[in-house]
Amino acid sequence: MAAVAPMQYGTAQVVYGNQNWSTGIQGTTPGILEVKDCGLTAGRNMNEQDIRSATKVCLLGQTVVDNLFGNIDPIGQIVRIKKIPFTVIGVLEPKGQSLGGQDQDDTIIIPLSTAQKKVFGRTVPGMVRSIMVKAKSTEELTIAERQITNLLRQRHRIGTNKEDDFTVMNLTQVLNMAEQTANIFALLLGAIASVSLLVGGIGIMNIMLVSVTERTREIGIRMAVGAKTWDIRIQFIIEALTLSMLGGIVGIIIGSGGSFILSSVFEIPSVVSFFSVLLSFSFSALVGIFFGFYPAYKASLLNPIDALRFE
């Protein structure tokens, strides 16, 4: 194992001056920063002396700092957690949102012994709610999971044929599940987008067919003065392409605006990349060309004499 961090956690109201904030409190050991691959932007980490002495010190996530302190330097300041004074000794580096959409910066870390004795209390000496473990490498995750399971079964005195009274969760499995969910979601959105493109393409084709019918005499005149079959086809394909590209632009504007609004309202980060915009334009162009070809082809086959007689 590379690092281990037992944890006791809950939620509490935190007060600084006339500011207060409800956040998650994690009682743990100094190894938590290595387990979570998290550094500090200011101050220091907890140490073993803090654990042994149940010192009332804490590390703050950036969200907590922003809501309690604003532009004030939090290091050395006193905050009250459940009316108990704690000295701020460090600020955690921002981590953003987790896979579940939770704000990982909305947290406070305190020594495990302090959490057990002074904040949450404990019903069983030494009891913790969870233990986070970091393996030395990704390849050793499965081995580490098996070793942890065997050790906990021994410590909990669980018989051979009895079920575990604990759960060991491998984050690789969680990531795989999240990836599968994302793939299913992508396929669903792809199917919806395909239906939308098909309906839009049929709409463009119908509009162009009507346009060909209404402009039959115009087509006849153009052919009479020397326009070739290819010229007529290009004309109507360009018109269909223009319609689809305009639709693509409107779609990009609505999509970008909707993304911005959702990001602002639900505080979910979203990015409209250049590649996605380029892909949207490309699909719009393909739809215009594909569904505009048949009306263009039909227009190019008109007989100039019949077209000029058309009423």
pLDDT at res. 111 = 94
pLDDT at res. 117 = 86
pLDDT at res. 156 = 80
* Range 195-211 average pLDDT: 90
CB count within 10 Å of CB 250 equals 11
User: How far is it, in rounded angstroms, from Cα 289 to Cα 149?
Assistant: 60
Backbone angles phi, psi at 115, to 5 degrees: -65, -40
DSSP state of 103: B
**C-alpha to C-alpha distances, 16 to 48, 65, 85, 118, 191, nearest whole angstrom:** 27, 10, 10, 19, 51
User: Is 133 or 125 the better-scoring residue by pLDDT?
Assistant: 133
- In degrees, rounded to 5, the angle at the alpha carbon of residue 125 between the alpha carbons of residues 122 and 130 is 70
Q: How confident is the model at residue 214 (pLDDT cuts 50, 70, 90)?
A: confident
Strand partners, 84: 81
User: How far is it, in rounded angstroms, from Cα 13 to Cα 254?
Assistant: 40
pLDDT at res. 90 = 94
What percent of the chain is modeled with pLDDT above 70? Answer: 95
User: How far is it, in rounded angstroms, from Cα 114 to Cα 84?
Assistant: 11
- Tokens of residue 83, six digits: 């009316």
Q: How confident is the model at residue 100 (pLDDT cuts 50, 70, 90)?
A: low
User: Is 165 or 218 the better-scoring residue by pLDDT?
Assistant: 218
* Range 122-129 average pLDDT: 66
- Tokens of residue 283, six digits: 């699909």
User: How far is it, in rounded angstroms, from Cα 96 to Cα 219?
Assistant: 60
User: How far is it, in rounded angstroms, from Cα 58 to Cα 87?
Assistant: 6
* Range 108-129 average pLDDT: 80
Q: How confident is the model at residue 171 (pLDDT cuts 50, 70, 90)?
A: confident
- Residues with Cβ within 8 Å of 133's Cβ and at least 6 positions away in sequence, in order, are 1, 3, 4, 5, 35, 144, 148
pLDDT at res. 310 = 67
Dihedral (Cα; 294, 296, 300, 304), 10-degree rounding: 120
* Mean model confidence pLDDT for the chain: 86
**C-alpha to C-alpha distances, 230 to 235, 252, 294, nearest whole angstrom:** 9, 32, 13
What's the pLDDT tens digit per position in 81-91?
A: 999 999 999 99
What's the pLDDT tens digit per position in 15-62?
A: 998 999 999 999 999 999 988 888 999 999 999 999 999 999 999 999
What percent of the chain is modeled with pLDDT above 90? Answer: 32
pLDDT at res. 149 = 81
What's the pLDDT tens digit per position in 240-292?
A: 999 898 988 888 888 888 888 877 777 666 777 888 888 888 888 899 899 99
Q: How confident is the model at residue 14 (pLDDT cuts 50, 70, 90)?
A: very high
User: How far is it, in rounded angstroms, from Cα 82 to Cα 27?
Assistant: 14
Q: How confident is the model at residue 76 (pLDDT cuts 50, 70, 90)?
A: very high
* Range 203-224 average pLDDT: 88
pLDDT beyond 80 at 207: yes
pLDDT at res. 185 = 87
